[in-house]
Chains A and B, each alone.
Chain A
Amino acid sequence: MGFWEIFGVWLAALLTLGIISFLYRDNAFYKACEAIFVGISAGYWAITYFWDNLYRKFYLQVSDPAGTEKYVPWIGFVLGILMLTRLFKKIGWLSRWPLAFIIGATAGLYMMTYFVSNAMVQISASILPVFEGSFGDIITNLLVSGGTFCGLVYFFFSKEHKGVFGGAARVGIWVLMLTFGASFGYTVMSRMSLMLGRLDFLFGDWLKLIK
C-alpha cells in the first residue's frame, strides 16, 4: 500500500472514531468532524452536479454543432440563474419563477403517477377472491382485502368511529400496528447493518483483525 492509501485509511479511521465519540458525550472532536462533514458534503454535491449536469447535460448539448434543439436548454439555464437570485434580498423575488416551475412540474407529474401506481393499481390488487381457492388462500385474501379496507376506514375522519364503522376502524388500527411493528423490526435491522459496515472498516480495513 502506498503512503496516500495508508494515510487515507488512518484518516478515515480517525474521523470514524471522532463521530463515534459522540456516544460517550458531545465533544470538540465530534463537533470538528461534523463541521468537516458539512463542508465536504456540500462541496461533493456541488462538484458532481456541476460536472454531471451543467457540463455533460447542458454545456455539451448547447455546444454540439450537430445538435438539434440547441437553444431549448438555455431557458432551463436562465431559470437556474434566477434561482441563485435568492441569495440577494433585493432581487430574491425572481427565484419564485424557477420555484414555481419545479412545483408545477412536480405537482403535475405526481398527480398522475401517485393516482395510478399508488391508488388505482393498489386498489385493484386488493380486490381478491374470497370464495375460491384453498382455505389458506381464502384466509390470506380476506386478511389482505379486509385489512386494507379497515385501514382505510380508520383514516376516514369525516364520520364518527361508532358502531360497525367504529369496529372496522378498530380492526384497521390493529392492522396498522402490525404494519408498524414489521417496519420497526426492519428499521432495527437497517440501523444495525449501518454500524456493521463501520465496524468492518475499523477492525478489518484499519486494524486488519477481520479477514
Chain B
Amino acid sequence: MRREIPLAITFIVGVSYIIAYFIPREPFSNFENWFNDWYAIVASFAIWLGALNLMKMSSLKIIRGKADVFHSVLIIISFLLILGIGFYEGFRGINATPSFSFRDPGTGFDWLYVNIYTPLSATMFALLAFFVASASYRAFRARNFEATLLLLAGFFVMLGRVPVGDLVTGWLPPEYQLSQWANWIMNVLNTAGQRAIMIGIALGLVSTSLRIILGLERAYLGGD
C-alpha cells in the first residue's frame, strides 16, 4: 500500500485538473479550488521541511565534529536570528493597532532583509558578470559555421541593445542601424528558434505528464 495509495492520489488529482479544464463547473471546479488551496498549504510545509532538514544536517555536523563546524554554527545562528526576529515582529504586528506587517520598513525583519539578505543574495549572482567575460575570452571560439552564427547573433544583440550600437552605425539610415538589426533578430530569428524549442518541450511534457498520471512513471516515489 506504500506505493498504491500515492499512485491513486496522483491519478485522482491529475485527472481532476484535466476534467476541470474542460468542464469548469461544479463539482469539478470545487475540486480544482480545494486542490489549489491545499497546494499552497503543502508548499509552505515543503519549505519548512527544507529549513528543518538544513538545521538537522548542520546540527549533526556540529555534534559529530566534522570539518565545517564553524560554518554550521554560523548557519544555525543566522537561521535562528531571522526566525526569532520574524516571529517577534509578526506577533507584534498582528496585535498592534493599527496592525502592521512583519516586513514593513522599520521592522527588524526588514532591516535584516535590506542589510544582510539583499547584499548577500545579490552579490552571489553578480559575480557571474566577471565569470561570463572570462569564460568568453578563454573558450568562446568560432570553430565552425554554427559557432560563428552564434557569435554573430550575440554580437549584434549585445551591441544593438545598448546605445553604443547606434553610435557606431549612426552614419547608416535609421532602418539599417544596429538597434533595428537587434530588434529583427529577436522578433524573427529568436522567435522561430524559441518556438521550436517551446513546442518540442510542450509535446514532451504532455506525454510525461500522462505517464505520471497513469502511474507508468514512478521515479518520484523513490525506493521502498
Residue ranges of A at the interface with B (Cβ–Cβ < 8 Å) = 4, 8-9, 11-13, 15-16, 19-20, 22-23, 31-51, 53-55, 57-58, 72-73, 75-77, 79-81, 83-84, 86-87, 93, 96-105, 107-112, 114-115, 117-119, 122-123, 125-126, 140, 143-152, 154-155, 172-189, 191-192, 194-195, 197-198, 201
Contact B45 A98, beta carbon cutoff 8 Å: yes
Contact B120 A118, beta carbon cutoff 8 Å: no
Min CB gap A146→B, angstroms: 8
What is the CA–CA distance of A198 and B127 in the complex, to the nearest angstrom?
Answer: 10
Contact B44 A51, beta carbon cutoff 8 Å: no
Neighbouring A residues of B70 by C-beta, 8 Å: 32, 35
The one of A96, A109, A151 in contact with B17, judged by C-beta atoms closer than 8 angstroms, is: A109
| Residues 168-207 of B contacting A (Cβ, < 8 Å) | 185-186, 188-203, 205-206
Contact B154 A182, beta carbon cutoff 8 Å: yes
Does more than half of chain B's interface fall in helix, strand or loop, or is it mixed? helix
In this complex, how many residues of chain B approach chain A with their Cβ under 8 Å: the count is 123
Neighbouring B residues of A86 by C-beta, 8 Å: 49, 53
With known contacts A12-B116, A15-B116, A184–B154 Cβ distance under 8 A: yes
| Residues 94-143 of B contacting A (Cβ, < 8 Å) | 94, 102-103, 109, 111-130, 132-133, 136
Neighbouring A residues of B212 by C-beta, 8 Å: 103-104, 107
Neighbouring A residues of B156 by C-beta, 8 Å: 185
Min CB gap A78→B, angstroms: 9
Min CB gap B152→A, angstroms: 7
A-B contact pairs, 20 of them (CB 8 A): A19-B119, A32-B71, A36-B120, A40-B117, A43-B78, A47-B82, A47-B83, A49-B47, A73-B37, A98-B46, A102-B43, A104-B12, A105-B35, A107-B212, A172-B196, A178-B190, A179-B189, A182-B154, A188-B133, A194-B126
In the complex, how many residue pairs between chain A and chain B have their CB atoms under 8 Å apart? Answer: 403
Neighbouring B residues of A50 by C-beta, 8 Å: 44, 48, 86-87, 90
What is the CA–CA distance of A81 and B44 in the complex, to the nearest angstrom?
Answer: 10
Nearest 3 A/B pairs, CB to CB: A151-B196, A179-B193, A181-B153
Given contacts A36-B78, A80-B45, 19 further A-B contacts (CB under 8 A): A12-B114, A36-B116, A39-B81, A46-B83, A48-B86, A55-B94, A58-B44, A87-B49, A96-B3, A100-B13, A100-B220, A108-B13, A112-B17, A112-B18, A114-B201, A140-B188, A147-B188, A152-B200, A177-B147
Contact B56 A15, beta carbon cutoff 8 Å: no
What is the CA–CA distance of A197 and B115 in the complex, to the nearest angstrom?
Answer: 14
With known contacts A12-B119, A44-B82, A80-B45, A195–B132 Cβ distance under 8 A: no
Contact A175 B192, beta carbon cutoff 8 Å: yes
Neighbouring A residues of B121 by C-beta, 8 Å: 37, 41
Min CB gap B112→A, angstroms: 7
Contact B192 A46, beta carbon cutoff 8 Å: no
